[in-house]
Amino acid sequence: MLAQKQIAILGYGNQGQAHALNLRDSGSSVVIGARPGTGFDRAKADGFSPVSFQDAVQRSEIIMLLLPDQEISKIVQDLQLLLAGKVIGLAHGFAYVFGGIDSLPNCRYFLAGPKGAGAILRARFIEGTFLPGAFAVSHSELKPLAQDYCRGIGINPKLLIETTFREETECDLFGEQAVLCGGIFRLMEMAFETLVKNGASREMAFLETCFEAKTILDLWMKYGPYELSRRISPTAFYGGLTRGKRVVPDEARMELEKIFQEVRSGEFAKEWLEEVENGTPSLSKERERLKKSELDSLYQKMRDNL
Ligand SMILES: NC(=O)c1ccc[n+]([C@@H]2O[C@H](COP(=O)([O-])OP(=O)(O)OC[C@H]3O[C@@H](n4cnc5c(N)ncnc54)[C@H](OP(=O)(O)O)[C@@H]3O)[C@@H](O)[C@H]2O)c1
């Protein structure tokens, strides 16, 4: 089904590159839409002939928007007339749920969201191991197309979950805020600082609180919580059981609930779009802090041997 349709990939960043290469290797016809710059040059180096967004949209039936979520609404506004009647794809539902792009004239929408960064999607496709992912459609007749697209980019059909734009958006935002980019990094950094403050060498502190965070998560994914509990030392298991609750007490559930409700109500989306409107000052400040941080310079020193 997908093989007969021309697909435009708008944006050749993290996801754009992986979707385009995997679709091409799966036999689909892909045209890249990119602005002049990094993505455009990378697409050329990968053997594509990138064109403007307008050209790519005009030539194609399926338009995949692989652009930063906070930019999608503005870009879609500029392309509105050309997009009428097309099938529009997204890798995440933010712009559909909170960005007002859900009702363009005669458009139908699908979501194909791999659970991982573009580089991993591509690497797993080459290995033939494939990533889990989720799909959603605005019209039920688009279901086979969305499933085909997901297969084409290398999502494992056995772990392709049917969802809705809203569910995917809420889960994705909540997951990154509470765990992936919120809880984990903050905990690693605070635990690192505690060890160093108490006299541990920076290298030892890094290995215990950061490097081993990755190895234990890999084991959790390989064995599951029960089997893992039998494979770590009883001392580690007991220490975690009795102290973990102090680090993340039951009261944290209330905060998790609040964070979820901020996502659901659109309060978070509003706050984030205001931050974007103001030129992302908080992001710049935090990046500057991280660049100068002890943890980053230590990582740079050790990275080749990790
Ligand atoms: N990153 C992930 O792990 C991940 C996972 C699943 C889903 N997603 C979703 O995938 C989508 C794309 O994310 P991404 O991480 O691939 O984005 P990204 O790496 O930041 O790539 C964005 C691309 O869009 C272009 N772009 C940015 N602003 C633009 C503008 N104002 N006008 C024209 N082009 C612009 C960039 O061009 P230049 O190269 O010229 O800068 C770049 O090629 C998002 O919906 C995201 O939520 C991401």
pLDDT at 3 over 80: no
Q: Tell me the per-residue pLDDT of 228-265, one tens digit each, with 9 for 90 and over.
A: 999 999 999 999 999 999 999 999 999 999 999 999 99
Q: What are the C-alpha distances in Å from 244 to residues 18, 167, 212, 250?
A: 38, 30, 16, 10
The structure's pTM equals: 0.94
Question: Please, what's the b/e burial string for 89-117 (b: 16 or more CB within 10 A of its CB; e: otherwise)?
Answer: bbbbbbbbbbbebeebeebebbbbbbbbe
Q: Is the CB of 35 under 6 A from ligand 1?
A: yes
Ligand 1 pocket, mutate which of 9, 17, 35 (most atoms under 8 A from CB): 35
3-state secondary structure of 110: strand
pLDDT score for 140: 97
Instruction: Give dist(CA 201, CA 195) in Å, integer.
Output: 8
In eight-state DSSP terms, residue 67 is: S
Q: 75-115: per-residue pLDDT in tens?
A: 999 999 999 999 999 999 999 999 999 999 899 999 999 99
User: Ligand 1 mean position to 17 CA, how many Å?
Assistant: 10
* CB of 164 closer than 8 Å to CB of 30: no
